[in-house]
Amino acid sequence: MYELVAELFAELLAVGFFAVGAGALTTVGLYFERLSLEALAAGRFSFALWIGGMGALALYFGPYLMGYTELLPRLRSLLETRTA
């Protein structure tokens, strides 16, 4: 009984970690992209390119790597094992 609760708690903790991480990286990526557009409009081209690259990296790591490849399969397996 306690093994099942501990296993469920560990999996829920991992799902929560990936959900918060994906959300945070997505937010940071969107902020950096907006900042990049503002810097580009102000004529700071090198800074706009650099911060745009950082935003693109954050948007790659957040929604895709943490969200799509890690969070979604864990969430699906968690829901499948709990409903079956």
User: How does DSSP classify residue 1?
Assistant: -
How big is the CA angle at 83 (ends 80 and 84), to the nearest 5 degrees? 80
Is residue 6 situated within a structural domain?
Answer: no
Q: In terms of DSSP H, where are the helices of the chain?
A: 2-41, 45-59, 72-83
Is residue 16 situated within a structural domain?
Answer: no
pLDDT for the residue numbered 84 = 58
Is residue 3 situated within a structural domain?
Answer: no
Cα–Cα dist 61/36, whole Å: 18
pLDDT for the residue numbered 16 = 94
pLDDT for the residue numbered 79 = 86
Is residue 84 situated within a structural domain?
Answer: no
How big is the CA angle at 9 (ends 25 and 18), to the nearest 5 degrees? 10
Q: Which residue has the tokens 């399969």?
A: 73
Is residue 14 situated within a structural domain?
Answer: no
The residue range of the domain holding 25 is 21-75
Is residue 13 situated within a structural domain?
Answer: no
Beta strands in the chain (DSSP E): none
pLDDT beneath 70, residues of the chain: 82-84
Q: How many domains does the chain have?
A: 1
